[in-house]
Amino acid sequence: MKKQPQRAQRVGDQIQRELAELLRVHVKDPRIGMVTVTSVEVSPDLSHAKIFFTHLPGKEHAPAAIEALQHSAGYLRTELSHRLQLYSVPQLCRASSTTP
């Protein structure tokens, strides 16, 4: 695993906490289901964030969950901009699923 700069790591940790709450409370898309944000990798310049998650329903429902998360990425980024004290919120890149 690549070593991230300390600021990128801290921003990634904060994004992970906020995304977990947003997905649990505010996102109502049934295709997402039970999702756990496992990690967030933020680029050194804080312009992109790659989200890793686990999806409880399994591999057969993972493509629908990825599509739903990509569809809600704009809403999630907007909500993150209200919650984080950053000049620019990272672009949420293609989400990756690691199913149990």
Yes or no: say if 19 and 40 are a contact pair by the CB < 8 Å rule. Answer: yes
Question: Which domains are delineated in the chain?
Answer: 6-97 (3.30.300.20)
Give the whole-angstrom CA distance, residue 99 versus residue 63: 11
pTM of the model: 0.84
| 48 contact partners, CB below 8 Å, separation of at least 6 | 42, 90, 91, 93
Q: Which pLDDT tens digit goes with each residue over 18-66? A: 999 999 999 888 888 888 899 999 999 989 999 998 888 877 888 888 8
> Quick one: how far is CA 85 from the chain centroid?
17
Closest by alpha carbon to 75, among 27, 18, 13?
Answer: 27
